[in-house]
Amino acid sequence: MQSRALHYLDRSKVEYAFDATHTPRITVEAPCEIMIETHNSREGKLHKPEDEVTTRPNPNDKYPRSNPMTGPVGISGAEPGDSLAVEILSIEVDPVGYVGVFPEVGIVRDVVNQRTVTMLPVKDGQVHFKDLRLPAKPMIGAMACAPLEPISVGLIGKHGGNMDNNRLAVGTTVHLPIYAPLGLFYVGDVHATMGDAEMCGSGAEIGARVHLRLKLEKGGATEWPWMETNDRWITTASAPTFEDAAEYCTRSMIALLGQRLGMSPADAFGLMSIAADLRINQYCKAPKLGTSIRCEFPKLGAGISRA
């Protein structure tokens, strides 16, 4: 079926919680395409390192003002138990982003004794880190449909949220469970590039315009979000500890291979041990944020075939 006309949602209004009581800024009929503008993680107000002080979120707020989300987008006919398939068609980033290194965040805590921000111009497909140049690899840090109880946009869970998963890039379709009428879809926290694990707790934070194709999948909800590209299936999960997140993610892939390949759990588990990769999305040792893990498995025809 052809996607319908392109919708547009600007970043003039943002939210700091995924909340089923929010009124949709726009309601669309899927399948459709939509262009959504997003701010960087400081709501587009950090333009130079000195702005870090005035844009710093208050950690004591119920929903700290970091990682603003654009939305929600209502999906006509969406009901609890459905899922929303979000295909990422393009990500166009702003001209300048930043990376922040802070004493209280990250895998190691003794690297800096003061909050440090480095501005990151993006030119001709490259991220400029001082005198170094890195390929720009834009990805979306956070997306979700509203859970039944409000959740801060900085957190991750079965709704999705702040997954910081490098596979949330062009060419990937994300399948998000729907919990509330109209689905209520949000997106934000784009990075011009980010290493797996987001070790210091910051990617190349940047505003963007993301072009998405939305499709409603009736009755398609799964316990956790999952993703697919042209050559792999990807499950993702999160928990306060790496061990629990890895277990949940592995269980999700066992279930997915049972559905896709008709395998028993034992066969799926054994096959995963010789063909799947478990990767860290986010691990910056911030207990409230938790750890985000993904499991990647090649699709049939992408290195695996039937006899």
Return the minimum-mean-pLDDT range out of 84-98, 160-174, 286-300: 286-300
CA-to-CA distance for 5 and 172, rounded, in angstroms?
A: 21
The correct answer on CATH 3.40.50.2300 for the domain covering 226-298 is no
Q: Are 294 and 174 in contact (CB under 8 A)?
A: no
Is the Cα dihedral 246, 252, 256, 262 positive or negative? Answer: positive
Residue 69: which residues within 8 A CB-CB, separation 6 or more?
Answer: 14, 15, 16, 18, 38, 142, 153, 186, 187, 188, 189
pLDDT surpasses 50 at 154:
yes
Give me the pLDDT at residue 164, please. 97
Q: What mean pLDDT do residues 72-90 have?
A: 98
pTM of the full structure = 0.96
What band does 1 get if pLDDT is binned at 50, 70 and 90? Answer: very low
Element (H or E) spanning 284, and its range? none
CA distance 92 to 11: 14
Residue 239 has pLDDT above 80, yes or no: yes
232 has a pLDDT exceeding 50: yes
Per-domain boundaries in the chain: 4-217, 226-298
Phi, psi torsion values for 145, nearest 5 degrees: -100, 150
CATH classification number, 4-217, choose in 1.10.1040.10, 2.60.120.580, 3.40.1180.10, 1.10.3720.10: 2.60.120.580
Phi, psi (deg, nearest 5) at residue 255: -65, -40
Among 252, 279, 290, CA closest to 268: 252
Residue 200 confidence (pLDDT): 94
